[in-house]
Amino acid sequence: MVEAKAGSLSFLTDNAITATIADSYAVFSERRKALKLTNPGTVDNIAREIQKDVLCTNFMFQGLRADFQKVFSLAPLFRIQHGFQMGPNVPSPYNLMALYGTPNVLLQAGLSNDGSAQCFANYRWSPKLISKSQAQISEGQALVQLDSEYTGDDFSASIKAMNPSILDGSLTGIFIGSYLQTITPRVSLGAEGVWQRQALNARPETAISYCGRYKGDDWIASAQYLAQGVLNISYWRQLTAQVEAGVDTQLQFAPGLGGNGGMLSSIRREGTTTIGAKYDFRASTFRAQVDSTGKVGCYLEKRVAPVVTMTFAGEIDQVKQTSKIGLAVSIEAAPEELMEASEKVEASNAQPPPY
Amino acid sequence: MPQLQLSEETKERITKILDISRITLHYGYLPLIIYLGYTRSDPKPTLIRLISPFA
């Protein structure tokens, strides 16, 4: 039966055209493999080394914070974290977080005492394809984000949907597709397209942004042009084994919002440049940065004991004469037999959960 | 854009299902993860260690 079916459909696979296509595809992928290109990372992480590792803008917090993290098991990974926070702009003083992970599944949930919840669920279909879903739920409303990432040998592609819905009678929501390709061993180029329609009575909007990245021996330069008229240029360099430094510039050529009806003079030109450095010591990490709007910030993370980490964050705005200070303690508890097991897991090179 | 025709009744039903699943996700997801972790962990933790932040 199966053979007969294969026979009747074989004209689809045995003709000259498909053979030529398959042949040229094989030759093409062979040549591509011979170039020995590496995966370029993702469009979101095009300037990760400087923006997410060296600069402390993302780590800044204000007030006091204490986290108690307990690891119960490593395979599967299971941990619970109790977080206590106080200070200005803190929406909820307590939140509970739980994480469960196996090599193919990652489930994470957070619940704050103001009643809002964050849910994450990631699944690895194959070593290259990961799907992620994320929901943020608070009183009577929910934000949903679905994301699929394909990490190829020399490219990365992803599709993202935010709050997709067909209930209004037509498709609404935000859809983002991005693609980043390694061109030569040092250069990679990519683009990102956004299609969005907030409601049925609004017109759909599209926007395309472009990005590029050049990787030197111990330095990386990247540029990203966003459709709203924002240009982001960054440079990162590894100075010694422990010291990294970088510059990040953001230029904005967006039309001003204050101008009434397309006045030429209302085009706003703004720019911010941030210079930062990161020092890694044996048991601590120090980050410092200065930017062109007059802000000086520093972030110090110190491992006081094997399970206790203290964090200090400070920022002074010289122009506005304001300052922010944050202090955090994080305690990570695990039973002793797990400590030994963790070394074994690290040694066996088990695949981590799909973060 | 192709218009998708949904009757009022279907729309109401879908909205209700979405509402219920949102509430389930809101209050049920974290207990589900704790239950999964508690039953599948190796070694299995004691209940008091699971609940108290200090023990």
A300-331, pLDDT tens digit by residue?
999 998 889 999 999 999 999 999 999 999 99
The pLDDT confidence band at residue B2, using thresholds 50, 70 and 90, is low
Q: What is the DSSP letter of A280?
A: E
Half-sphere exposure of B46 toward its Cβ, with a 13 Å CA cutoff? 6
Task: List Cα–Cα distances, A70 to A91, A112, A293, A342, B53, in angstroms.
Answer: 24, 18, 41, 14, 8
Whether the predicted pLDDT of B54 surpasses 70: no
Which of A73, A98, A170 has the CB atom closest to B33's CB atom?
A98
Residue bearing the bigger pLDDT, A238 or B54: A238
User: Structure pTM?
Assistant: 0.80
pLDDT in tens, A111-134: 998 889 999 999 999 999 999 999
pLDDT given for residue A13 in this prediction: 74
The pLDDT confidence band at residue A263, using thresholds 50, 70 and 90, is very low
pLDDT given for residue B41 in this prediction: 83
For A136, the closest chain B residue by CA position comes to B26
* Mutation for A interface: B7, B24, B26, most A CBs within 10 A: B26
When pLDDT is averaged across residues A10-19 and rounded to a whole number, the result is 80
Which chain B residues have a beta carbon less than 8 Å from that of A69? Answer: none
Whether the predicted pLDDT of B33 surpasses 50: yes
Residue bearing the bigger pLDDT, A6 or B27: B27
CB contact (8 A) between residue A76 and residue B40: yes
Average pLDDT, chain A: 87
Closest of A303, A309, A308, A263 to residue A282, by C-alpha: A303
ipTM: 0.83
What is d(CA A210, CA A223) in angstroms, rounded to the nearest whole number? 8
Whether the predicted pLDDT of B43 surpasses 80: no
Which chain B residues have a beta carbon less than 8 Å from that of A169? Answer: 3-6
pLDDT given for residue A3 in this prediction: 46
Task: List Cα–Cα distances, A39 to A120, A250, A303, B30, in angstroms.
Answer: 26, 26, 33, 35
Whether the predicted pLDDT of B1 surpasses 60: no
Closest of A213, A208, A193 to residue A41, by C-alpha: A213
Residue bearing the bigger pLDDT, A146 or A266: A146
Cβ atoms A110, A94 nearer than 8 A: no
CB contact (8 A) between residue B1 and residue A117: no
The pLDDT confidence band at residue B8, using thresholds 50, 70 and 90, is confident
Which of A76, A98, A167 has the CB atom closest to B34's CB atom?
A98
**A329 in contact with chain B, both atoms CB, cutoff 8 A:** no
Instruction: State both tokens at A81.
Output: 């974290």
* Mutation for B interface: A68, A74, A100, A106, most B CBs within 10 A: A100
What is d(CA A41, CA A39) in angstroms, rounded to the nearest whole number? 6
Whether the predicted pLDDT of A339 surpasses 80: no
**A75 in contact with chain B, both atoms CB, cutoff 8 A:** yes
Which chain A residues have a beta carbon less than 8 Å from that of B30? Answer: 96, 98, 109-111, 117
Q: What angle do CA A125, A129, A132 make, to 5 degrees?
A: 80
pLDDT in tens, A161-218: 999 888 777 888 999 999 999 999 899 999 999 999 888 788 889 999 999 999 999 9
pLDDT given for residue A126 in this prediction: 92
CB contact (8 A) between residue B1 and residue A99: no
Residue B11 makes CB contacts below 8 A (sequence gap 6+) with A167
* Residue owning tokens 């959960």: A353
Q: What angle do CA B12, B25, B10 make, to 5 degrees?
A: 15
When pLDDT is averaged across residues B5-21 and rounded to a whole number, the result is 86
